[in-house]
Amino acid sequence: MKEEIIIAGFGGQGVLSMGKILAYSGLMEGKEVTWMPAYGPEQRGGTANVTVIVSDEKISSPILSKYDAAIILNQPSLEKFESKVKPGGVLIYDGYGIINPPTRKDIHIYRIDAMDAANEMNNAKAFNMIVLGGLLKIAPIVTLENVIKGLKKTLPERHHHLIPMNEEAIKRGMELIKEV
């Protein structure tokens, strides 16, 4: 098993932390992992993306030009990365940030209305965990149990009281994701 993933959106959407949690979750399962963030100097409001590779075997390079899965959270990221999903791969997008939806016919396209769900939960910060839940439903790379362990590793201890809310958000994302 080897899953090469790009998560891309605006800074402040939780792109980098979503990747970090996914990477830590892979480590908890004893897998090989790389986590490579990239963001503009603006950070919050600028574009940000992170490449995560989770594999059963050694990873030769963290630098990729094609991906098994892309999580796209804004239009500029869709324009940049839609063409870089491998044929037969997966593209997940949040309906809120996309004006012109993906058009490729050789990949599996899923929509998740995570921003709407986060607003329903009265918690904008749940957005990235809802999206992560959608990914894990489509590609169960890591278990929910290890994602919770990953959250404990990545969240400062003063935020550990938020872990149950994050778990609820992940489960909500698993329910919401729909193939287009």
Position 147 confidence tier, pLDDT thresholds 50, 70, 90: very high
Half-sphere exposure at residue 9, Cβ-oriented, CA atoms within 13 angstroms: 27
Domains and CATH numbers, the chain: 1-177 (3.40.920.10)
pLDDT of residue 153: 85
Dihedral sign of CA atoms 120, 152, 145, 2 in order? positive
Note the pLDDT tens digit of each residue in 105-133.
999 999 999 999 999 999 988 999 999 99
pLDDT of residue 42: 53
pLDDT of residue 45: 62
By CB atoms closer than 10 A (0-12, 13-18, 19+), residue 164 is exposed
**pLDDT(40) > 70:** no
Note the pLDDT tens digit of each residue in 69-108.
999 999 999 999 999 999 999 999 998 889 999 999 999 9
Amino acid in position 104: R
Say how many C-beta atoms besides its own lie within 10 A of residue 159's C-beta.
Answer: 13
pTM over 0.85: yes
Q: Which helix (H) or strand (E) holds 149?
A: helix 144-154
**pLDDT(135) > 70:** yes
Do residues 98 and 78 touch, judged by C-beta distance below 8 A? yes
